[in-house]
Amino acid sequence: MITTVIGSYPKPHYLKITDWFNATGGTDTENPTKYYEEEIKIIGSEVEEIFIRATKDVIKDQENCGIDIITDGEVRRENYIHYHCRHLNGIDFSNLTEKTARTGNYKCWLPTITNRVTAGESFLVEEWKTNQKLSNKPIKVTIPGPMTITDTIANTYYKTDEEMGYDLAEAINVEIKRLEKAGCKYIQVDEPLFARKPENALNFGIKNLEKCFANVDSTKLERITHICCGYPDKLDAVNYPKAPLDSYKKIAKALDASLIDSVSIEDAHRYNDLELLRNFTKTKVIFGLIKIASSQKETEEEIENRVLDALNYIDKQQLIAAPDCGLGHLPRQLAIEKLKIMVNVAKKI
């Protein structure tokens, strides 16, 4: 089985950037974008050197674990959503608006869309080129999706989420085409909001997701989406509100009919009814086998049994092993141990 990681990875101790995972309040922090620019200034002229060092260390960890398709760990980002938004026109990071986020779970102060959103200058291409030089394995680029950005940003310009999502998709498509031209082979658009709002996903979310990948060469680029049911606010959180598990079932057939090549879903935190996998007749499934917010390590037997159960419902060539989501909540050594266990199982199957 092929193995991959989803996105975030614990930031090295020497990279003093506040992110969702180390902020007061965890991923439910009240001010998710408050510190980033000031912390970059404090680091000063060495910031690029430190970012590259951190990325190299994160990539090395994944290589040593045996991961096939790796990421940069999103170490440059305060979170996977707002970092991208900093590079879009029409979004004001000095004008913060209080908003209830995560389907009503908490309130926070968010950057505000004050004008039509368009793509800014290219930024992910140079990052990817720099990162890819650090490894012989393919580096996957992760990008927040239109529906997920819409839920995690304030808006005083657009009348509807669908209209906002359309322009966000067009802007994302510009950057994806830049990455394709540069030679990037794996691009993942994260849409966890599909699980929280499956009706919106069916009405316009999947259409806008496809627009993100419009006019790219599918023979050269793997079009991936990640749909988890929501990060907890801290490690080992109990009874954290997550999206309904049956959300996957509601959107599976529509995703399989879309142009998406691979769909990433969580399974380790809460087991799915594996009948779900029958809905993916052509789409590959990146299957969550590691709990990303639990300090308890999975056993090889546990993971192997789950994979073998899944293979009763989907072809082996369609299944890819991965953690449920990003690994930012985990201590570095625990993340390494969990990944090695997963890879050991994948190599046997």
Rg (CA), the chain: 19
Residues whose CB is less than 8 angstroms from the CB of residue 107 and which lie 6 or more positions away in sequence, other chains included: 30, 98, 99, 100, 101
Return d(Cα 143, Cα 150) in angstroms, integer. Answer: 14
For residues 113 and 97, give the distance between their C-alpha atoms in angstroms, rounded to a whole number. 10
Q: Which residues pair with 290 in a beta bridge?
A: 323
Check residue 102 and give its pLDDT: 59
From the centroid of its chain, how far is CA 343?
20
The residue behind tokens 């009503």 is 104
Phi–psi pair at 262, nearest 5 degrees: -140, 135
Residue type, 208: N
Can you give the three-state secondary structure of the chain, one letter per residue?
A: CCEECCCCCCCCCCCCCCCCCCCCCHHHCCCCCCCHHHHHHHHHHHHHHHHHHHHHHHHHHHHHHCCCEECCCCCCCCCCCHHHHCCEEEEEEEEEEEEEECCCCEEEEEEEEEEEEEECCCCHHHHHHHHHCCCCCCECEEEECHHHHHHCCEECCCCCHHHHHHHHHHHHHHHHHHHHHHCCCEEEEECCHHHHCHHHHHHHHHHHHHHHCCCCCCCCCEEEEEECCCCCCCCCCCCCCCCCCCHHHHHHHHHHCCCCCEEEECCCCCCCCHHHHHHCCCCEEEEEEECCCCCCCCCHHHHHHHHHHHCCCCCHHHEEEEECCCCCCCCHHHHHHHHHHHHHHHHHC
Please list the ranges in the chain whose pLDDT falls under 70.
102-106
d(CA 141, CA 74): 9
pTM, 2 dp: 0.96
Which token pair is 253?
Answer: 């057939």
Q: Please tell me the distance from the alpha carbon of residue 339 to that of residue 323, in angstroms, as a whole number.
A: 8
Displacement of CA 276 from its chain's centroid (Å)? 21
The rounded distance, in Å, linking the Cα atoms of 222 and 225 is: 10
- The predicted pLDDT at position 57 comes to 98
Query: Length of the chain in residues, anyone?
Result: 349
> What pLDDT, on a 0 to 100 scale, did the predictor assign at position 103?
55
